[in-house]
Amino acid sequence: MRDFDAGLTLFDSAQAFHWRPIGDEFVAVVNGHIMTAADDDDFARDYFDDFRDYTKLIDECADFPIAKKAVEMLKGLRVLNQPTWEALIAFILSANNNVPRIRSLVYACSREYGEAYEYKGEILYGFPSPEKLASADEAEMQRITRCGYRARYLIQTARSVCDGFPLDEIKNMPFDEARRMLMTLMGVGGKVADCVLLFGCRFSQAFPVDVWVERLMNKWFSVEGSREHIRREAVRLLGNNCGLIQQALFHAARTGLIEL
DNA sequence: TGGCAGGGTCATA
DNA sequence: TATGACCCTGCC
C-alpha cells in the first residue's frame, strides 16, 4: 500500500483505540476477525482507506498554508473506515477523556464484554456486541471497567440499536440527517457524532471539533465562537474533505508539529 | 501530592 | 443558547 503509515494511523492518531503493537506489527480484532496492518485483501484496503488518492488532498487545502503543511508532513496518515458500531462505542467512551484512558476503557469493555482471540500467544478482544452491552448491569460495568457515567450511555445506546435503531443505514443517509440521527443516541453529542461519521461512516465532510481543533481554528483560521459554528466554518473553508484535513491538523496540533 | 485537563454530553433554565 | 455536574485518571 502506498504511503500508509500504520503506526501513525492505527495507534498514534487516536481515531481507533484497539490496535495493539505485537512484535513488529499492529494487530486488532475488527468485525470478529483478527486483522494486521499488513493485510491487503479488499476488506483491509477499504478499512485502511487505500482506494483514496491522498495526493489530491494537498491541492484541496492550497489556500491554507497551515493545512497544507500538516497534510504534507503527515503523508501516510489515513482516515479509517471502521465498522460504525465499533467507532460508536469507542467515541462514546472518548467523551471528556484523554487518549491513554480512552484506550484503557476500550480495552476494559472489550475484555469484559467482548470475545477473546489468540494471536501469536497474545490475547486480543473484539468489541462487545450490542446485545451483550444491552443486557449489562450499569453498576457492575462501572465497577469493572471504571468507565464512570459513560456506562449508562453505552447501555442505553446498545439498547437503542437492539430495538431497531438503523445503525447500518446511517452511512447511506444525507449527511445532516445522519448526524441528527446519531445525536438521538444517548452519549452522542455533536463531537462524538462527527467522529462516528468520519471514522465509521465514510463522511469525509464530518469535522470533529474538540479542544485541540478549537484552538487551532482560533489561531490559524481566525474562526471563533461555538464548536458548532467552528464546524460549519471549517466545512465552508476547507470543503467536502475537511474531515481528512482535520485529521492531519488535529494530529499536528496535539503532537506540537504546529504551534498553538 | 495537589490540581488541572482530557478527541464532551446531559439536564436545566 | 449558556451554565454546571459529572466518573475517573494521566500528567505536570
**pTM exceeding the 0.85 threshold for the entire prediction:** yes
C-alpha A257/C-alpha A260 separation (Å) is 10
Closest CA to the C1' of C1: that residue is A226
| Number of Cβ within a 10 Å radius of residue A109 | 28
Q: Which residues of A4-42 are buried (b: 16+ CB within 10 A; e: fewer)?
A: bbbebbbbebbbbbbbbeeeeebbbbbeeeebebebeee
Q: How far apart are CA A19 and CA A250, in angstroms?
A: 19
Determine contact, residues A127/A85, Cβ cutoff 8 Å. Answer: yes
Mean pLDDT, chain A cut into blocks of 10 residues (260 residues total): 92 97 96 97 98 94 96 96 98 97 98 98 98 98 98 98 98 98 98 98 98 94 94 96 98 93
C-alpha grid cell for residue A81? 473506515
A191 in active site: yes
Residues 150-179 of chain A: which lie with beta carbon within 7 Å of strand B?
153
Residue A251 confidence (pLDDT): 97
Q: What is the pLDDT, as a whole number, of residue A207? A: 98
Distance A149 CA to C7 C1' (A): 6
The residues, any chain, with a CB within 8 Å of residue A125's CB and separated by 6 or more, are A18, A29, A107, A110, A111, A114, A115, A116, A117
Confidence (pLDDT) at A2: 79
* A144 CB inside 7 Å of strand B: no
